[in-house]
Amino acid sequence: MVAMRIEAVQGDITTQDVDAVVNAANSSLLGGGGVDGAIHRAAGPRLLEECMELRRTELPDGLPVGRAVPTAGYDLPAPWVIHTVGPNRHRGETDPALLASCFTSALDVADAVGARRVAFPAVGAGVYGWDAAEVARVAVDAVRGWSGGVELVRFVLLGDDVLAAFADALSAP
């Protein structure tokens, strides 16, 4: 097994040259703001159509918090989008294990579809109210503890503060 490389960069997740981008989705899978909206806009209308079909068939009640599901990437450079729903602190979803599950479930899905290079946003650090430093610690620990065929995890982040939080987490033993 190849050792996984983990890195943090500032940038636009929708332009990454990877096999899969992870979408910080809401449970409806029908688009939203932030990273979710950006991915839906960049991927084009076929992404929404596929998400609507998932809701009609496999996920009539939406995607549960901490779980992940793949779709095609459509107009993105990445062939796959892996949607995961972070816990919403504003709704009392404060268990770090639920947040960690977003990262490990997305990696499980990436492995299942053959994605070797995966780009993640800071799931939960936006409108869902998690502190960037806590997200970074949970995400890095979850990724480091996961084993499978993914060779590169790239955290693609917006803002100097979030990038610094991930750099700190990555430099910790």
Tokens read off for 135: 């997200």
In residues, how long is the chain? 173
Pick the closest to residue 22 from 139, 159, 144 (CA basis).
Answer: 139
Cα 23 to the center of its chain, rounded Å:
5
From the candidates 19, 36, 61, 75, which is the catalytic residue?
36
Q: What is the C-alpha end-to-end distance of the chain, expressed in Å? A: 21
108 belongs to the catalytic site: no
In this structure, which amino acid lies at residue 104?
T
b/e for 33-53, b at 16 or more Cβ within 10 A? ebbbebbbebbeeebbebbee
- Report the catalytic residues: 36
